[in-house]
Structure 1
Amino acid sequence: MKAPRYWFDGSAPPLHARALARVYGAAARLRQRFVRPRKVSRPVLVIGNLIAGGSGKTPLAIAVVERLKADGWTPGVASRGYGRDEAGTPRWVEPVTDPKLAGDEPVLIAARTGVKVRVDADRVAAAEALIGAGCDIVVCDDGLQHRRLRRDIEIEVIDGRRRYGNGLLIPAGPMREPAARSADCDFRVLNVGVDADIEAGFGEWPMRLETGQALPLIGGRPLPLARFKGQRVHAVAGIGDPERFFATLRAHGIAVVPHAFADHHRYTPEDLRFGSDLPVLMTEKDAVKCMRFAGERHYSVPVSGTLPEAFWIALQDRLAKLR
């Protein structure tokens, strides 16, 4: 779903959207009132956001998993697998799993980290499966609103450019929950991307997205992004905020011909036929869905989230009390 303009441009939402937002809020409060969180036998760390659409959860989840591994943990990742077929079927996710069956983000996380990844609409069952497979900590990708699984640490990710938009609940605004919910989270990470002008506020940890390579989808040696400097390229992004990816390429001096798709878009070969022989650069999340019909002009541009060392020290301190 493409976000309505009034979510972020300052214009007033229509009256019917405001009315539906009140219904959404009442239903959410009622649902939370009757949820009984279930605790599992290992620590649970949840990464999520308060707005609909992407804010940088997946780069942070990958960074957290890699840091946990470096610190001696055996993490596993639990995900709902948004938009996948057979949503009611639990599944282990491998780097070669079809994203249609597992979801694009779980496949990307499995490929980047090599840890066990489980998709299941039942987060408690997913966590228990991971623990049964030898994981000593469960990382939930996009799980702030799924309260049935009791969590020990919550990390909110905030889009540094869009933040909370107009601050209203869906569908009048982008909020899944009121902004006050942010105060309940243990850590608040501000995704500043590549924009050096965005500064983190009080209580926020800045996360920068770093990239420097383009990976051919059909094999071959990685190319530095500097190779494309001054060139026109087709840029493909089916993420919550495609402009974030386009800005990353422009920051490297690349002339972008933008092609924005809806978040979690399912690509077909026709989607990548642009009528010219320019290189096609896309996000990692898009690339996992285009492998089957990729050509030699198609490249994935991986990003890595980097945070201050003080953030990792603070997280380690919280984890030490749970270990």
Structure 2
Amino acid sequence: MRPPGFWSASPERPGVMARVLAPLGWLYGAVTAQRVKREGTPVGCPVICVGNINAGGTGKTPTVIALAQYLQGKGLKPIAVSRGYGGSMDGPMEVDPRVHDAGQVGDEPLLLAAFLPAWIAKDRLAGCQAAVEAGADVILLDDGFQNPLVFKDLSIVVVDAHRGFGNGRCIPAGPLREPVEEGMKRASAVLSIGPDEAQKSFEKQWGSRVTVPHAKGALQPLQTGMDWQGQRVMAFAGIGHPEKFFATLRGLGAELVEMRALDDHQELTPAIFNRLESQAKALNAQLVTTEKDAVRLRPEDRYKVLALPVRLEIDDWGGLDEIIQRLIPSKLG
């Protein structure tokens, strides 16, 4: 389901519905604040949590991938731990792309497993303990910022620079899992993701309320040799903000003849895919989707669809690098 429009209103003008739902939002935030007061259990190796304050997609998965590649470049063995989304297996269990599909383990863990060992567990503490037993030098906890079970050595709050923290209110009055001020008390750093114009807007609106080190990054298409200029494409995406994917394709010069925004993590059933394929043929267009959506396709359908890979480029690793160096100095020397 798409989030209600008033969630993205400015904090100064949140809208009538936000005001009506404000008491429920306050209660939601208060319950979260009480729940996260519990001090988590250390698991025996450093834990870097990549989470968010907003509900929905903010760019956590690309951030985990970027951090994994950074740590691997330092000679470390990071292991990702995720709850999974919609998977049929409880775990703890290591994801094997050769055996598992998105319906079993979730699309994000399946995508992560292409870059580093990835474990799923509905009990994140058990998942982290399993990762330690599997030889992790450092655990990348995918989401879980509001999960109190695991002690986090470092928590990076990821936020979409364009959307910021929405109207600044908690669910259901706004998009937040907890108030920004409460989240900042536990965060080690904030990473805002978006182009320069969005970063400037985020800084103007929220800069004074970001009270921890602030890093900036942007998602950039991976150069694969594909020439998108003038290509007739029918794009579909079931991610947090599909419009960002469509804008990326336009920026590459593709001619978007049709766009289909699906629900985040929506199952790509044979019936749904057949409709997409039929419409693309009628439009004489190539089906294009995201990497995360592609892993949810049946093997027999994947060859019919082009996936556009993107990678997170962080403007300046300096601040994050310094924090990570302090976190695991014995490993990084």
When normalised by structure 1's length, the TM-score is: 0.88
Counterpart of 1:285?
292
Deviation at 1:311, TM superposition (A): 4.1
In the alignment, the residues of structure 1 paired with residue 317 and residue 235 of structure 2 have an alpha-carbon distance, to the nearest angstrom, of 32
8 A contact 1:209–1:303 mirrored in 2: yes
Task: Indicate if the aligned counterparts of 1:189 and 1:204 stay in contact, CA closer than 8 A.
Answer: yes
1:104 to 103, 107, 115: 107
Counterparts in 2 of 1:295 and 1:36: CA distance versus 1, 3 Å: closer
How far the C-alpha of 1:95 sits from its partner, in A, is 2.1
Counterpart for residue 13 of structure 1? 17
Counterpart in the other structure of 2:2? 2
**For 1:204, which of 203, 208, 214 is the aligned residue?**
214
Displacement of 1:182 in angstroms is 2.4
Q: Indicate the residue corresponding to 1:250 in structure 2.
A: 250
What is the CA-CA distance between 1:185 and the residue it aligns to? 1.4
Compute the RMSD of aligned alpha carbons: 2.0
Q: How does 1:1-323 map to 2 (within 5 A)?
A: 1-10=1-10, 11-13=15-17, 17-33=21-37, 35-86=38-89, 88-96=90-98, 97-111=100-114, 113=115, 115-180=116-181, 181-192=183-194, 195-199=195-199, 201=203, 203-213=213-223, 223-224=225-226, 227-256=227-256, 257-272=258-273, 273-274=275-276, 275-277=279-281, 278-294=285-301, 296-307=303-314, 308-311=316-319, 313-321=321-329, 323=331
Q: Is the 8 A contact 1:57 1:141 kept in 2?
A: yes
5+ residue gaps, structure 2, are: 208-212
Q: 2-side partners of 1:248 and 1:254: how far apart?
A: 9
Quote the offset at 1:246 in angstroms: 0.8
State the 1:17 CA deviation.
Answer: 2.9
Matched-pair contact (CA < 8 Å) for 2:220–2:310: yes
Shift of 1:16: 5.4
Q: Percent identity?
A: 34
Question: Following the alignment from structure 1 to structure 2, what is the Cα–Cα distance between the partners of residues 53 and 17?
Answer: 19
Matching residue of 1:218: none
Conservation of the 8 A alpha-carbon contact between 1:49 and 1:157: yes
Q: CA–CA distance in 2 between the matches of 1:296 and 1:123?
A: 34
Q: 1:59/1:160 Cα in 2 relative to 1: closer, same or farther (>3 Å)?
A: same
Structure 1: distance between partners of 2:189 and 2:70: 16
SS across alignment from 1:13? helix
Give the C-alpha shift of residue 312 in structure 1.
Answer: 5.0
Partners in 1 of 2:324 and 2:177 — Cα distance?
29
What is residue 210 of structure 2 aligned with on the other side?
A: none
Give the counterpart letter for 1:279 in structure 2.
Q
How many positions carry a matched residue from both structures?
Answer: 307
Which has the larger helix fraction? Answer: 2
| Alpha carbons of structure 1 residues 135 and 253: separation in structure 2 relative to 1, 3 Å | same
- C-alpha separation between the residues in 2 aligned to 1:185 and 1:7? 23
Corresponding residue of 1:216:
none
* Cα pair 1:269 1:293 within 8 Å, conserved: no
Q: Describe the superposition over 1:207-261 as per-residue Cα deviations: whole angstroms up to 9, x where unpaired.
A: 1111145xxxxxxxx651xx23123311111111111111111111112221101
Q: Secondary structure at the match of 2:197?
A: coil
